Amino acid sequence: MGSFFLTTAIDYVNSRPHLGTAYEKISADVIARYHRLKGDRTWFLMGNDEHSQNVYKRALEQGKDPLAYCDEMEQVFRDVWGRLDISFDDFIRTTDRRRHFPAVQQMAQACLDRGDIYEGTYEGHYCVGCEEFKPEKDLIDGLCPVHKTRPEWICERNWFFRLSRYQQALLDLYRQQPSFIEPEMRRNEILRFVEGGLDDLSMSRAGQSWGIPLPFDPKSVVYVWFDALINYAAAVGYGWDDAQFREWWPASLHIVGKDITRFHCVIWPAMLMSAGLPLPGQIFGHGWVFFKGERMSKSLGNMVDPLDAARRFGPDPLRLYLTKEVPYGGDGDFTWERFEEKYNADLANNLGNLVNRIAAMTERYRGGRLPAPASGPLTHLAAETTAAYRQAMDRLALHDGVAAAYRLVSGANEFIAETQPWALAKDESQDARLTQVLAEASEAVRIAAVLLSPVMPTASHEIARRMGDSASASWRLDAAASWRTSGDRTVTNSGALWPRLEDKGAIHVSETPAPTPATPSPAAPAPEPVPATAPATAPATAMVEAASAVIPIDDFMKVHLKVARVLEAERVPKSKKLVRLQLDAGEATPRQILAGIAESYEPEALIGRSIVIVANLAPRMMMGMESNGMVLAASPDGGGAIVLDAEPAAPGTRVR
């Protein structure tokens, strides 16, 4: 027994929760409930990440005040979490002025005092022609390799976090505490990443209002990633309630998506070291749950959300599916077909029917009353499966834990088949035997319910009630999962818990083979931090989304699009994606462009085609070759590029 502080990633509020985010919360909730069951003092934190420019823009697009928009989204999230039975103890928002603001400001100040935050500059060789900073290594004799001109030395003011200082300390941490990062595969990735050296990170943004002002530079706000991570400490008192903070910090476990393990395994511990705070016990990077394509609903044209499973059947079947069918740490897949299959097999046929047959027989043969059972074969099985369950749950092998509980359920069904209580009931000399059989089976099922309670809280409590245990609210694993050899019980027969789903495909419309499964991405500090050494490499996602803002036509006209015919095309050696194209763009000489389309096109197949290019893009060096422009191509999520076709327009034709 001890104290257990568990967190999940805080979520971006620019879209509703989906299966992916739900999966993360459900798995974390199972862990939280398991620890409460063990008797640990448990604190389960969730929250929303709101200081992102995307959120700000989304709000303005909808004509809303950003904060009001976030308030609305909080309700949307809380509503979904409520329907999934997520038992969080606390919910924090990064716009929380009472808790989060002071925490972020205190941590920024602490890092500054430690000498780890410095007013830096994007110092670098800036090539005006390229409009970007050039790393020292790319310069040839101090000149830009593209323009053969001397780049300017430019300084752009900004605040930086001295991440580079923590490389060795982090490596020591990973070595001394191997379980700091799980699963192992993630640890290897992080290890190699850190071994490769760390760059300092820009941690402020100037000239923005949506964010938390730096205490030592109120004109700048804290950059989102720095801001977001601090929520874990902020929630329990950092910066505003020292006593509470000391009580709960450090976190025992951060549950995060595998895409943001780096923030949590590298940057976050470095920040904490800098601020002089203890480090969390473990960071677990879970996998994705994909949603095999659902056909559009005919009437609405909407995707049938897997979360509807919770709406229609209650949260338990979905929770069981996600916990039992997906090995925790790996990726999984949700399909309605499989969901239906598992629902019938695990719930209707196996567990639900078991509860029903025991209750029905007890009612019929014993009027619902049973004494405590003596030890029997199921006693041993219960002890065995409980031990396996604990062992699995303690190492976060949630799927193995559920499997152990289900071995007990199956064992009870086998036991009934062997002992044949209906036959015993016909023989008066077997009276005592029948009583023992029914009591033994009901006790085994009661214990199975205890083990399953973190996964299926509602159903488990109902099963326990039917098996005569109404004290499920105060269960403690040790006592609750022990075989009870004293005390009578009243067994209640209340009908089917999970009616069988009869018609195949009844619960969903129809399924199509989906070439591009929806990729859930539990949000968190998403925009890549800007490495100080290469400021021109801006956060990719942020930039792409920022581009969705409306622009005047004049801006568009600045982009010079035209038709070009492919003269030559060949793979760039040693590159996975690049194709080198020689193009006739109606110009005096052929133009060379490098395009990242090698994964979807054989170079030869492009020769002779008329395509669309951006003609006035600044030249750029890639893989040691110059690229003069860009090939326009559609790039579907998860799919290969589709180059735009301009047949039969002549080379040089303007495209608008």
Partner RNA sequence: GCCGGAGUAGCUCAGCCGGUUAGAGCGAGCGUCUCAUAAGCGCUAGGUCGGCGGUUCGAGUCCGCCCUCCGGCACCA
* 414 makes contact with RNA (CB under 7 A): yes
Of the two residues 298 and 574, which places its CB atom closer to RNA in the complex?
A: 574
Q: Are 393 and 420 in contact (CB under 8 A)?
A: no
E-assigned strands of 588-651?
A: 591-595, 610-614, 620-622, 625-627, 630-631, 633-634, 642-643
Residue 15: closest CA among 69, 94, 63: 69
Of the two residues 65 and 414, which places its CB atom closer to RNA in the complex?
A: 414
Segment contacting RNA by CB under 7 A, of 71-79, 106-114, 220-228, 618-626: 618-626
Residue 199, amino acid:
D
Of the two residues 493 and 653, which places its CB atom closer to RNA in the complex?
A: 493
Angle at alpha carbon of residue 543, lines to 537 and 546, rounded to 5°: 160
Of the two residues 626 and 647, which places its CB atom closer to RNA in the complex?
A: 626
Of the two residues 97 and 576, which places its CB atom closer to RNA in the complex?
A: 576
d(CA 609, CA 118): 53
Of the two residues 420 and 485, which places its CB atom closer to RNA in the complex?
A: 420
Candidates 137, 141, 176, 192; binder of RNA (CB under 7 A) is 192
Q: Are 606 and 566 in contact (CB under 8 A)?
A: yes
Candidates 177, 420, 512, 616; binder of RNA (CB under 7 A) is 420
Q: Minimum distance from CB of 138 to RNA (Å)?
A: 9
Q: Minimum distance from CB of 565 to RNA (Å)?
A: 19
- Is the bond preceding 183 in cis, omega lying within 30 degrees of 0? yes
* 524 makes contact with RNA (CB under 7 A): no
* 546 makes contact with RNA (CB under 7 A): no
Q: Residue 440 corresponds to which tokens in the numbers above?
A: 């033994």
* 251 makes contact with RNA (CB under 7 A): no
Q: Minimum distance from CB of 15 to RNA (Å)?
A: 20
Candidates 90, 156, 259, 511; binder of RNA (CB under 7 A) is 259
* 533 makes contact with RNA (CB under 7 A): no
Candidates 114, 292, 357, 476; binder of RNA (CB under 7 A) is 357
Candidates 67, 155, 185, 634; binder of RNA (CB under 7 A) is 185
Candidates 527, 596, 603, 651; binder of RNA (CB under 7 A) is 596
Q: Minimum distance from CB of 284 to RNA (Å)?
A: 15
Candidates 115, 129, 330, 636; binder of RNA (CB under 7 A) is 330
Q: Minimum distance from CB of 280 to RNA (Å)?
A: 21
Q: Residue 318 corresponds to which tokens in the numbers above?
A: 């979905």
* 492 makes contact with RNA (CB under 7 A): no
SS3 breakdown of the chain: % helix, strand, coil, rounded to 5? Answer: 45, 20, 40
d(CA 409, CA 419): 16
* 137 makes contact with RNA (CB under 7 A): no
Q: Is 176 exposed, middle or buried (0-12, 13-18, 19+ CB in 10 A)?
A: exposed
Q: Give exposure, 626-635, as e/b (b: 16+ Cβ within 10 Å).
A: ebbbbbbbee
* 340 makes contact with RNA (CB under 7 A): no
Segment contacting RNA by CB under 7 A, of 58-66, 83-91, 151-159, 360-368: 360-368
Identify the residue whose tokens are 């990062």. Answer: 181
* 352 makes contact with RNA (CB under 7 A): yes
d(CA 647, CA 565): 9
Candidates 575, 582, 592, 653; binder of RNA (CB under 7 A) is 575
Candidates 188, 297, 391, 494; binder of RNA (CB under 7 A) is 188
Angle at alpha carbon of residue 119, lines to 115 and 125, rounded to 5°: 125
3-state secondary structure at position 527: coil
* 560 makes contact with RNA (CB under 7 A): no
Contacts with 213 (C-beta within 8 Å, 6 or more apart), sequence order:
105, 219, 220, 221, 222
* Residues found near RNA in the complex (CB under 7 A): 185, 188-189, 192-193, 196, 258-259, 325, 327, 330-333, 338, 341-342, 344-345, 347-350, 352-353, 355-357, 360-361, 364, 410, 413-414, 416-418, 420-423, 496-500, 537, 540, 574-578, 594-597, 620, 622-623, 627, 630
